[in-house]
Amino acid sequence: MRAIIKTKPAAGVELAGNFPEPDIPADHVLVKVAATSICGTDAHLYTWDKSAQGFGATFPFVMGHECAGSVVSVGANVTRLHAGDRVAAESHIFCGACYMCRTGNAHNCYEMKLLGITWPGGFAEYVALPERVCFPLPANLPIEVGALFEPSGNAVHAIQRAGNIDGCSVLVTGGGPIGLVIVQLAYCLGATSVVVLEPNPFRRKLAEARGARAFDPLAPGFDIDGIVRKDYARHGGFDLGFEVSAAPGTLETLLRALRREATIVCVGLPSEPVPIDITAYIAKKMIVLKGIFGRRIWDSWEMLLAMVESGRLDLSGMITHRLGLEEFDRGIELLKGPSAKVIISPN
Ligand SMILES: [Zn+2]
Ligand SMILES: [Zn+2]
């Protein structure tokens, strides 16, 4: 089969024309991939920077972790899925047996494998998935929207982790796809105002189209303290923060711009440790720092599906490009410019 392969610890990928199709063990299904979206993580894997090296991948591996498609065959022990079913993949392949899995916390499995990094991924004509990580999709849901459930589920998890949003002002650092879904969900759940800090002008436009005020944090004269003094002084700052960019300095911006006893949810994965003034922010200001990695299984997925099916959350508007496997390098390049989600169709 054709597949995007990372063959060595260096920049770039290869398009294999004749990669072996995956075996399907008894509890797995074979999925013919219809759509796999490119993630910021794929750009890190592509360039093989420090954050990519931290995942523990071994070579060669098939990339792609945001995928959806149709089941074509099932292993002998598969009971729930059948050929023809449409599914999206939970990319965090949990073991089902460790302490965290057995206590209802499979999203934090100790033995977790990562689709498209430490498990053969979905930038390929076929992917083999354990039945337990397949999320069945309704027949009327566009399959490329199904591929967006994995990244969008991170936004849902961040919102779930934040707690009550009703009546809150929200500051989001990073207006990429996950940040944009956080904007939509925050308004759905009662946020009074959302501000997004994002250097990419195209993504600022998308944030504004979703009702947020968007600023370029790298522009000369950008002054978060001034914004707080002008519009958020009554509470002493924003009520809630989401760090989605992993860019240097953004956590400090949030810690400064949020009011006392506010909550910050960290979604981005900085490649270096981030220093924090514990005295000023955690002790005296009593800010609560939380983080998420991936989605709650399956709470985040079910909430996301309900929001999409009700029409309150639109994901399709985030798709800006559709490419074939052979255009993968261009897809990575597109992430730097006027784009949100780039969909690869391997078949
Ligand atoms: Zn991703
Ligand atoms: Zn586990």
Q: Tell me: the pLDDT tens digits for 172-212?
A: 999 999 999 999 999 999 999 999 999 999 999 999 999 99
Q: Of 28, 36, 41, 173, which is the active-site residue?
A: 41
Catalytic residue list contains 41: yes
Half-sphere exposure of 108 (CA within 13 A, CB side): 8
Q: Tell me: the pLDDT tens digits for 106-129?
A: 999 999 999 999 999 999 999 999
Separation of CA 106 and ligand 2 centre (Å): 6
Catalytic residue list contains 82: no
pLDDT of residue 347: 95
Q: What is the mean pLDDT of the chain?
A: 97
Ligand index nearest the alpha carbon of residue 107: 2
- Pick from 135, 42, 37, 29: nearest CA to 83: 29
Separation of CA 116 and ligand 1 centre (Å): 10
Separation of CA 158 and ligand 1 centre (Å): 14
pLDDT of residue 109: 98
Separation of CA 306 and ligand 2 centre (Å): 27
Residue with tokens 């910021």: 40
Task: Dig out the tokens for 330 from the structure.
Answer: 């261009």
- Pick from 306, 252, 249: nearest CA to 280: 252
Q: How far is the first Cα of the chain from the last one, in angstroms, to the nearest whole number?
A: 10
Within 10 Å of residue 156's Cβ, how many Cβ atoms? Answer: 27
Instruction: Assign 239 to helix, strand or coil.
Output: strand
What average pLDDT score do residues 14-21 get? 96
Contact between residue 298 and residue 273 where contact means Cβ atoms under 8 Å apart: no
Contact between residue 92 and residue 297 where contact means Cβ atoms under 8 Å apart: yes
Task: Dig out the tokens for 270 from the structure.
Answer: 């900085």
Separation of CA 46 and ligand 1 centre (Å): 13
Q: Tell me: the pLDDT tens digits for 92-105?
A: 999 999 999 999 99
Ligand index nearest the alpha carbon of residue 103: 2
- This prediction has a pTM of 0.97
Residues 6+ apart with CB under 8 A from 235: 169, 259
Query: To 5 degrees, how large is the angle CA 99–CA 297–CA 211?
Result: 140
Separation of CA 309 and ligand 1 centre (Å): 22
Instruction: Assign 20 to helix, strand or coil.
Output: coil
pLDDT of residue 252: 97
Q: Of 7, 28, 36, 44, which is the active-site residue?
A: 44
Contact between residue 174 and residue 250 where contact means Cβ atoms under 8 Å apart: yes
Q: At 328, which amino acid appears?
A: F
